[in-house]
Amino acid sequence: MTTLLDSTARALLARTARAQRTSRVPSLTTGVVRGGRLAWSAGVGAVQEPHTDVQHRLGSISKTVTAVAVMRLRDEGRLGLDDPLDRHVPGTPFGARTVGQLLSHTAGVRAESPGAWWERTPGEDWSGLSAQLRPDDLPHGAGRRFHYSNLGFGVLGELLARARGRPWAQVVRDEVLLPLGMTRTTTRPDGRAARGWAVHPWADVLLPEPEEDAGAMAAAGQLWATLTDLARFGTFLLGDTADVLSSGTLEEMATPAGVDPSAPGWSAYGLGLQVVRAGDRTLVGHGGSMPGFLASVFVDRDEDLGTVMLCNATSGLDPALPGDLHELVRTAEPYVGEPWRPAADVDRALLELVGPWYWGTSAYGLRLRADGLLELVGLLGAGRASRFRSRGDGTFVGLDGYHAGEVLRVTRDDGRVVALDVGTFVFSRTPYDPEAPQPGGVDEAGWRGGPA
């Protein structure tokens, strides 16, 4: 079922109307994504109808589209996230900073491009922009801290153009937007489009905002889209990738950089994606703002739920709105999920690995999932959970948690499994099993009682 209940729709409409009224924005369009489609939407204020087919500026949501195109290059083997920028776009003052650092805003690059503020003035091409770059455009050391950088994504747009031999706009259109069916997403307003307004902070009056071509900075915030297209991007973030990216790469993009995702109340950035903790849920997506416009798309993949929002005001919209819309749906119509089903087939050799294991005296369980992943979970109230994917050679690589990226190897003795080695952590079938290759050995006298 992908259509929301009337009572849920009424609550969503009331929350949207309240946000439009109290935030004093000319128009506000919101939607809920579920079941692979835009399941509900509404437009409040001076809204053209149909409200789902009116373009608004997406602002920094454009960064996520840019990041998807960069990750496609990585998956093709055309670049690595640890590649220095100079390898692909030589001649900048930050050529030693890496592609991955630019994607995650940890490259230490200044926030804005040099010259007049790029969001309200005509943009320059790459030659004009790059000529203005200086060594002091690096206020922070590489990887030292998160520092949001529009300039960094302008550089990534130039990287895409050079790698593909055509402009950034054509690359994201051909490789991301059209394959996803986002035919009403363009770099400039095309057809039915909202006018961007500034609302006076102390009076109920409006001022039109300018709209310019951002030039070399377009990759940081140039795209326009309708609510229907933004909802399609929401379904992409929920996993309907239409072969634009693999599910593994999308998950990689949503992994926070330098933040423990199990801690409450955090907000972080992955690779072109914002990752936000909202109560006990983790939302993945991006917000956007440009003069005259605000936008957002955030999804909760565990709930198969996303929200989209478009607004034609420069600032002032209630920041709690996206999270509130999520919570309204989650509370009123909890996600049922898919029923459990056994695996269609099983590698019997993997069954030798499942069951209880011990790292020292810490108890763990290793289970084989229907999707073929091995899942390590802590028992007796503690432990570091991780999932592992087969590498096809008898070893496994960690996908998340403490063991992300680490290799799990199986230790055998005369063909019998006696231990697991995960990045030098030895797991044995009993605590400090002497038959396993325990680092430092095991006392020959074995376990004993305490002193009398």
Question: pLDDT tens digit string along 177-197?
Answer: 999 999 999 999 999 999 999
Rounded Cα gap, residues 421 and 430, in angstroms: 14
Mean pLDDT confidence for 101-108 = 96
Q: Which element (helix H / strand E) includes 309? A: strand 305-311
Question: pLDDT tens digit string along 249-295?
Answer: 999 999 988 676 666 677 899 999 999 988 888 999 999 999 999 99
* CA neighbor of 231 nearest in space, from 292, 310, 137: 310
- 2 pLDDT exceeds 70? no
Question: pLDDT tens digit string along 289-330?
Answer: 999 999 999 999 999 999 999 999 999 999 999 999 999 999
pLDDT above 90 covers what percent of the chain? 86
pTM, two decimals, is 0.92
Rounded Cα gap, residues 298 and 290, in angstroms: 18
- 1 pLDDT exceeds 50? no
Q: What tokens does 77 get?
A: 């083997």
Report the sign of the C-alpha dihedral through residues 14, 16, 17, 23, in that order.
positive
Mean pLDDT confidence for 46-58 = 96
- Higher confidence at residue 346 or residue 210? 210
Q: Can you tell me whether residue 439 is helix, strand or coil?
A: coil
CA angle, corner 134, sides to 129 and 135, nearest 5?
145
Sheet of 281-290, strand order: 37-45, 27-34, 305-311, 293-300, 281-290, 274-278, 267-269
Rounded Cα gap, residues 172 and 379, in angstroms: 46
- Which domains can be identified in the chain, with CATH numbers? 43-294 (3.40.710.10), 348-428 (2.40.128)
Q: What tokens does 416 get?
A: 């019998």
Q: What is the mean pLDDT of the chain?
A: 94
Residue reference for tokens 């050079």: 162
